[in-house]
Amino acid sequence: GQQLNQSPQSMFIQEGEDVSMNCTSSSIFNTWLWYKQDPGEGPVLLIALYKAGELTSNGRLTAQFGITRKDSFLNISASIPSDVGIYFCAGQGDYKLSFGAGTTVTVRA
Amino acid sequence: DAGVIQSPRHEVTEMGQEVTLRCKPISGHDYLFWYRQTMMRGLELLIYFNNNVPIDDSGMPEDRFSAKMPNASFSTLKIQPSEPRDSAVYFCASSQIYGEQFFGPGTRLTVL
């Protein structure tokens, strides 16, 4: 699949801080998705974006579909301990998803 | 509603043995996907089905891998013969509409 560049690779954050991560691609996607994976579990869908420029929120999560259709970002506001995990971006052209390498988030209490 | 169900959750086998992984998609979902996750390669799509028909198997690593979907509620991924490099977590996901794919808990496969 296409190569997605996700950054940062990992981050340590203080509880209550805001978190930001992003994904870029050399290819255009029709859809951007953000997933969270906890240890020993499958990825859980957080947010799906279907339109360039779209800004969507889900609780403390906010994600945007870049206007060029080649990038997306995810923000987590006021982080809490249960935000720990690996966050993946995924771009979709046809029905196939191409995943980024993930951002590992660790929260300092 | 039950999510995607996978079995077994863990499988340990010896090189050369046949391995069969099972998946039950979410009821009403027309698309089913098999992924593999490793530290080195991340999440990779192996194959996907639409209405029980394989649409794209370009991600299947080699002929040792095969997948079937005999009906709308069941799919298998088979590896025969298995090799140590097949050790990974295998995920099944299903989708009703374009975009939102829902993943199962995965099967952790270890080939000794």
pLDDT higher than 80, residue A2:
no
A88 touches chain B (CB under 8 A): yes
C-beta atoms of A45 and B100 within 8 A: yes
Query: What is the Cα–Cα distance from A43 to B106, expressed in whole angstroms?
Result: 9
For A18-43, what is the mean pLDDT? 95
Please enumerate in sequence order all residues whose Cβ is within 8 A of that of A62, keeping only pairs 6 or more positions apart, or say none: A55, A56, A74, A75, A77
Name the residue among A57, A38, A41 with its Cα closest to residue A105: A38
Which residues of chain B, if any, have pLDDT below 50? none
Residue B24's pLDDT is what?
98
C-beta atoms of A96 and B48 within 8 A: yes
- Indicate the residue of B4, B55, B99 with minimum beta-carbon distance to A92: B99
Q: What is the DSSP letter of B26?
A: P
Residue B1's pLDDT is what?
64
Residue A72's pLDDT is what?
98
Name the residue among A24, A32, A29, A18 with its Cα closest to residue A6: A24
- Indicate the residue of B42, B104, B105 with minimum beta-carbon distance to A99: B42
C-beta atoms of B45 and A97 within 8 A: yes
What ranges make up the beta strands (E) of A9-68? 10-14, 19-25, 31-37, 44-49, 55-58, 61-65
The burial of B22, by beta-carbon neighbours within 10 Å (0-12 exposed, 13-18 middle, 19 or more buried), is given as middle
pLDDT (tens digit, 9 = 90+) per residue, A49-87?
999 999 999 999 999 999 999 999 999 999 999 999 999
Cis peptide before A43 (omega within 30 of 0): no
Structure confidence at residue A6 as a pLDDT band (50, 70, 90):
very high
User: Coil, strand or helix: which one is A77?
Assistant: coil
Per-residue tokens: B44: 């990779």
Structure confidence at residue A109 as a pLDDT band (50, 70, 90):
low
C-beta atoms of A43 and B50 within 8 A: no
